[in-house]
Structure 1
Amino acid sequence: MNDRDQINQILKKVYASELGLIEQAPNIALKNKHGLSRIYAALWSRQPAAIKTAIFALTMAVISAAVYYYNTFTINYFNVVMERAQIEAQLQRRNDLIPNLVATANKYMNYEQNVFTHVSDVRAAVKSLDKTIELKGLKADDLSVLSKFQAVAEAYPILKSSEAYTLLLKELSDTETKIVEMRIAYNKVSSYYNSRLKMFPGNIFNLVFRFKEMPVFESVVRAKTTPGVK
């Protein structure tokens, strides 16, 4: 073989694929895909119309059930979240409102305590006098006590400590009642939601959706204790 023949052989090897001298390797994956498609088409074509209809109906039923349970779980979950938010709102209301009511009631009590102190002093002074002695016969100290009582009464003509404490107790009772009622409502929706996650066939679909159970309500540490009334 001369040099020219060797060069031709080298060129054929280098450009064999471009010149069509080498056969392309068959695409095995494509052949397998086409083969599976042909097998599936053959099997499906051999099935009676009733079986085809049943398979289609079953597929649609599974899809519909999946959509139904997903929407149901989502709605129930947000119902639980809403009830929990209502409880936390009432706990926050209790923590914000009650201390203000206590301070208001204590303020009125301080006002009336001053009046009651002066009233007791006046009564003691009057009892020490003879019932037949007129008011002009009172001593200077007694008159100063009476003037103090009059000054306090004029400064605070409407003392409402009893109403303030009545309001305080009413607000305490109303708030605690609302918290109890909302906890009951929360337990109901939470239990219903958790039961739907565990019941068949919802539990099967939840293997895919992975909704989590809602825990029993636990308030924050600061809100667990009702502010003291002193």
Structure 2
Amino acid sequence: MLTLLIIIAIIVLVGLFGVATYNRLVRLRALVKEAFSGITVQLRRRADLLPNLVETVKGYASHEKSTFEAITAARASMAGGGGVAATAAADAQMTGLIGRLFAVAEAYPELKASANFQQLQSEISAIETELQSARRYYNATARDLNTRAQSFPDMLFAGPLGIAQEEYYKDEDPAIQTTPKIDFTPAA
């Protein structure tokens, strides 16, 4: 009788441990999804702001049609969504295009002095800061889930319960992987 009670107690404890482990993994997976949603919200805010920025720059630099068309096409492709890798690739493309747009604006002092342009530039800058935070938060939650899913004894439950590892949000731009060359020699 005592042996039966010990066996039942062990089974109950293992069951409770399994439920607790499963709930912890589910909570981490939910945090990863929430974090990815935070990235997409910031990307949507940036994409919604871009038409105003493009129209402002168009008024001063209407001949820069290829840049404007590229931004419009990239904005449309971001709406398609996709997984983490596809979103990161679209994000990197859009970031590069925004840089090109600001480079175009540099050639027009009256545009840079425009209050509307300055406000839009400030809003884009704020969104980029929030987007960077959202990316870091996503990667931290993905790291936490991946660590748990690979650690013993959680790994015994993760696989059979369908809790897979999440991929990290990566910037695949090769330019960020190399050291920039800085030259302080005066121009002749």
Q: Which TM-score band applies after superposition, normalised by the shorter structure?
A: 0.5 to 0.7
User: Aligned AA for 1:198?
Assistant: Q
User: Aligned AA for 2:48?
Assistant: D
Q: Does the CA-based 8 Å contact 1:105-1:161 persist in structure 2?
A: no
Counterpart among 196, 210, 224 of residue 148 in structure 2: 196
Flag the 1:195–1:99 CA change in 2: closer, same or farther, 3 A.
Answer: same
User: Aligned AA for 2:47?
Assistant: N
User: Aligned AA for 2:5?
Assistant: T
CA RMSD of aligned residues (A): 2.4
Aligned partners of 2:169, 2:159: CA distance in 1, in Å? Answer: 25
Partner of 1:75, secondary structure, is helix
Gaps of 5+ in 1: 1-47, 111-159, 220-230
Gaps of 5+ in 2: 62-111, 172-188
Partner of 2:114, secondary structure, is helix
User: Highest Rg: 1 or 2?
Assistant: 1
Q: Sequence identity, in percent?
A: 28
Aligned partners of 1:92, 1:81: CA distance in 2, in Å? Answer: 16
For 1:1-230, list aligned pairs within 5 A. Answer: 49=2, 51-104=3-56, 106-107=58-59, 162-217=114-169
Give the TM-score of the pair, scaled to structure 2. Answer: 0.58
User: Aligned AA for 1:202?
Assistant: D
Give the number of aligned pairs: 122
Q: Does the CA-based 8 Å contact 2:32-2:138 persist in structure 1?
A: yes
Give the TM-score of the pair, scaled to structure 1. Answer: 0.48
